Amino acid sequence: MKHITFSQITGTSNGYYAWLGWLAAFAAAALGATWYMEHNGHYVTGMTNQIVWGTPHVFAVFLIVAASGALNVASISSVFGRPMYKPLARLSALLALALLAGGLMVLVLDLGRPDRLIVAMTTYNFRSIFSWNIYLYTGFFGVVAVYLWMMMERRMNRYTRIAGFAAFVWRLALTTGTGSIFGFLVARQAYDAAIMAPMFIVMSFSFGLAIFILVLMAISRGTKRPLGDAVMAKLRNLLGVFVAGVLYFVTVQHLTNLYAAEHSGVEDFILRSGGLYTGLFWIGQVLIGGFVPLALLYHPVTAKDRSMIGLAAAMIIIGGFIQIYVIIIGGQAYPLVIFPGYEVSSSFFDGRINAYTPSLPEIVLGLGGVAVALLIVSLGVKVLPFLAESLSDADIDPHYVAPPKPDTSVSADVADDSEASATV
Amino acid sequence: MSGTSDFTPSRRALLTGAGALAGITIASGVTLISTGPAGAVTGPATSKNRWGLLIDSNKCDAGCDECVVACKAENGWDGHNRPETDPQWIRKVNLKDNKTGATHSLPVMCQHCENPPCVDVCPTGASMKRADGIVLVDKHVCIGCRYCMMACPYKARSFVHEDITGQKQYMPRGKGTVESCTLCVYRIDEGGIPACVEACTEKAGRGAMTFGDLNDPQSDIAKDLAKRATTRLRADLGLAPGVHYQGL
């Protein structure tokens, strides 16, 4: 394995600027959507007093969960000492910060009073998991920023392992906090389960890695930097394990609920009679987000096809988003059981399946969060050396054995001793 | 942290004094105006009192909603004819037993829990419980995250989805914040009873709702609770609501 050279991307092509322009447009549209929702009030959204958290929360939770997962590649390098992941570690940390920023933006801009963010930052109720999360989220920025510094500053490299370990522990706590937002809700049949926290952690592994793989493939293609089969094979295999892990936790979650008679109503709703939500669960979450990507990742034919790995990652992202949608929206669509054993009716939709249709401003706000995350990554890789110049097998695979025939493209890669060198 | 908030005399004096100055605009849509004669405030709420309700569903009729009408008029939460987003501080719920077919009708409002989940989950402490057990939302600290609405097992809380008109001087509300039954706290502080209870007796002539101090053994509500079989909604959750139901 040669010395890894990191460098910024050139970032002067028309395509790059057009890409930034698109992302900025989406971010601006999100601000416009926020203004529209705040000016008129939330009645212009699909959210109601029944479905109090809507599409913005699906985007926000998805991005926040994926953020902690995106950091995993760096953790595998620093904490678990896998050298092959080292060239990927900086991008992994940058992506984690970017996704968290995007998610938090959506979460904050959907508040009834986003202008009171300063209140949320200064007035705390420490019994609230939300309060803990404010610390966990802001702390994550700090911990990962320090971690990046340790990785990128040669004099600090010796602290990389300890910083990576701190970041790894922090991201576990962060996702525990996110899962516990739902796990701690004793009132609702669909939540109130300790399994939420570990399930969210495994979901973060899966969603975060899927996003990382797509971003890595896109950047490698856009910058024409080599991306070897060895590293893709590692990432592919890891992704498959995580997807299987998510399926396992989902199975345990529902089996446990099915066993408790008091939860049979909501389980029947999600798994059998819930119409849209049942369809989303089985087709979206389980099939598109689970079994099909698993088949693509492990079938001998598709496993070797890079585009199929990309397709699998995209499906995992879509399925993961649907999973969060089923948890958040589906969980609220099923009515609160205030009077067990009774048929209930009222002017406030008691006892009725609650309807929800995402509105355009909600979707625009959510996509704006995605755009901001991608914008941070796109700008980040231009201003600082986050990317390895080559991820070819010859450069990063410690077990690489050169093929018998001389390969000129490999020998052209010359290692550079400098910590970071800008491309021209 | 206990989650309990004492309303201290100084804070009350501040609010009343502010009202005497004709009103302060705290933020758009939220205005505090004088809450009444300063002499009516006698001291801080203390844990010596535990205010509660007893609702007798046997005396409650499915066709009657005087309690809802009274609450709406008293607190000014009339909506915009959009049932899904309009607030409802109190609602009539009709029940039919799945097995026996027996029917009941009863009002449901904030149950003023002793261990309120809405207070536990609120990140800023806007959702609070007074020492006398009344659960309130501080509209100046609420950021509109709606976590309390996710946490409430009784669907007692509403989010203000649009502009507000016709606010009452004694009941500040705010677009983008969460609100619910206050047990007509300003009436209680002046020795009165909640508007819903008053209407149930005086307008509906039913007397299905009893208000009083659960901690006072001589109060009507405490005497009734001592001799009748009553229940509390979702008692299994251990939240110890201040609202009791009879006839369920």
Q: Give the pLDDT confidence score for residue A402 in this predicted structure.
A: 84
- Please report how the helices A86-109 and A129-152 are oriented relative to each other, as an axis angle in degrees rounded to 10: 150
- Would the pLDDT of A422 be above 60? no
Closest CA to B120 of A331, A176, A129: A129
Q: Give the pLDDT confidence score for residue A409 in this predicted structure.
A: 53
- Would the pLDDT of A241 be above 80? yes
Put the strands of the sheet holding B51-56 in their side by side order: B209-213, B51-56, B243-246, B230-231
Query: Which among A49, A112, A355 is the nearest to B177, CB-wise?
Result: A112
Identify the closest residue of chain A to B179 by CA–CA distance. A49
Q: Give the pLDDT confidence score for residue A408 in this predicted structure.
A: 55
Identify the closest residue of chain B to A262 by CA–CA distance. B236
- Chain A: give the shortest CA distance to residue B88, in Å: 7
Spell out the domain ranges in chain B: 45-246
**Set of chain B residues whose Cβ sits within 8 Å of the Cβ of A181:** 147
Instruction: Suggest the residue from A178, A348, A354, A362 to mutate for an interface test with chain B (most B CBs closer than 10 A).
Output: A348
Could you tell me if A53 lies within 8 Å of chain B, comparing CB atoms?
yes
- Given pLDDT bands bounded at 50, 70 and 90, which one contains residue A398? confident
Closest CA to B210 of B192, B225, B197: B197
DSSP result, A200-249: HHHHHHHHHHHHHHHHHHHHHHHHT--B-HHHHHHHHHHHHHHHHHHHHH
- Chain A: give the shortest CA distance to residue B25, in Å: 15
- Given pLDDT bands bounded at 50, 70 and 90, which one contains residue A1? low
Distance of alpha carbon B77 from alpha carbon B161, whole angstroms: 12
Q: Which residues on neighbouring strands pair with residue A410, listed in sequence order? A: none
Instruction: Suggest the residue from A39, A47, A128 to mutate for an interface test with chain B (most B CBs closer than 10 A).
Output: A128
Write the single-letter amino acid at A165: F
Query: Which among B161, B174, B234 is the nearest to A338, CB-wise?
Result: B234
- Chain A: give the shortest CA distance to residue B228, in Å: 20
DSSP class of A107: H
CA distances from A169 to A75, A136, A176, A291, A315 (A): 10, 11, 11, 30, 28
Write the single-letter amino acid at A183: G
Q: Give the pLDDT confidence score for residue B3 in this predicted structure.
A: 42
Could you tell me if A411 lies within 8 Å of chain B, comparing CB atoms?
no
Using one digit for the tens of pLDDT, what is the confidence trace for A271-281? 999 999 999 99
Could you tell me if A108 lies within 8 Å of chain B, comparing CB atoms?
no
Q: Give the pLDDT confidence score for residue A397 in this predicted structure.
A: 87
Identify the closest residue of chain A to B2 by CA–CA distance. A127
Could you tell me if A261 lies within 8 Å of chain B, comparing CB atoms?
no
**Set of chain B residues whose Cβ sits within 8 Å of the Cβ of A41:** 160-163, 175-176
Output b/e per residue, A338-360; b: 16+ Cβ within 10 A. bbeebebbbebbbbeebebebbe
Q: Quick one: residue A23, left, alpha or beta (phi over 0 = left, psi -120 to 50 = alpha)?
A: alpha
A-B Cβ pairs (cutoff 8 Å, strict): 180
ipTM greater than 0.90 = yes
- Would the pLDDT of A405 be above 60? yes
Are A338 and B94 in contact (CB < 8 Å)?
no
Instruction: Suggest the residue from A37, A38, A39, A49 to mutate for an interface test with chain B (most B CBs closer than 10 A).
Output: A49
Q: Which H or E element spans position A344?
A: strand A342-346
Q: Provide Rg for chain B, Cα atoms.
A: 18
Could you tell me if A185 lies within 8 Å of chain B, comparing CB atoms?
yes
Q: Give the pLDDT confidence score for residue A400 in this predicted structure.
A: 87
**Set of chain A residues whose Cβ sits within 8 Å of the Cβ of B120:** 125, 127-128
3-state DSSP assignment of residue A346: strand
Could you tell me if A49 lies within 8 Å of chain B, comparing CB atoms?
yes
Record the pTM.
0.91
Q: Which residues on neighbouring strands pair with residue B168, listed in sequence order? A: B171
**Set of chain A residues whose Cβ sits within 8 Å of the Cβ of B124:** 119-120, 123-125, 131
DSSP result, A121-144: HH---TT-HHHHHHHHHHHHHHHH
| Cβ–Cβ under 8 Å, residues A313 and A239 | yes
Closest CA to B9 of B31, B47, B39: B39
Are A112 and B178 in contact (CB < 8 Å)?
yes
3-state DSSP assignment of residue A260: coil
Write the single-letter amino acid at B13: A
Query: Which among A130, A336, A350 is the nearest to B121, CB-wise?
Result: A130
Closest CA to B3 of B112, B119, B113: B119
- Given pLDDT bands bounded at 50, 70 and 90, which one contains residue A119? very high
Q: Provide Rg for chain A, Cα atoms.
A: 23
Are B123 and A130 in contact (CB < 8 Å)?
yes
Q: Give the pLDDT confidence score for residue A401 in this predicted structure.
A: 86
- Can you tell me the mean pLDDT for A271-300? 98
- Can you tell me the mean pLDDT for A115-135? 94
- Would the pLDDT of A155 be above 90? yes
| Cβ–Cβ under 8 Å, residues B238 and B115 | yes
Which fold would CATH assign to domain B45-246? Answer: Alpha-Beta Plaits (3.30.70)
- Would the pLDDT of A327 be above 90? yes
Kindly state the percentage of chain A with pLDDT values over 90: 90
Query: Which among B85, B98, B159 is the nearest to A112, CB-wise?
Result: B159
- What is the end-to-end Cα distance of chain A in Å, rounded? 25
Distance of alpha carbon A51 from alpha carbon B84, whole angstroms: 9
Q: Give the pLDDT confidence score for residue A399 in this predicted structure.
A: 85
Q: Give the pLDDT confidence score for residue B7 in this predicted structure.
A: 43
Are B121 and A184 in contact (CB < 8 Å)?
yes
DSSP result, chain B: ---EE---HHHHHHHHHHHHTT-EEEETTEEE---S-GGG--S---TT--EEEEEETTS--TT--HHHHHHHHHHT----S-TTTS--SEEEEEEEETTT--EEEEEEE----SS-HHHHH-SSS-EEEETTS-EEE-TTT-----HHHHH-TT---EE--S---S-BTTB---TTSEE----SHHHHHTT---HHHHHHHHTS----EEEEETT-TTSHHHHHHHHS-EE-TTGGG----SEEEE--
Query: Which among B104, B121, B160 is the nearest to A128, CB-wise?
Result: B121
Strands B4-5 and B127-130: parallel
Are A127 and B120 in contact (CB < 8 Å)?
yes
Grouped pLDDT means (10 residues each) for chain B, 248 residues? 43 42 40 40 86 97 97 94 97 97 97 98 98 97 98 98 94 97 96 97 97 97 97 97 96
Using one digit for the tens of pLDDT, what is the confidence trace for A26-70? 999 999 999 999 999 999 999 999 999 999 999 999 999 999 999
- Chain A: give the shortest CA distance to residue B131, in Å: 17
Chain mean pLDDT for chain A: 94
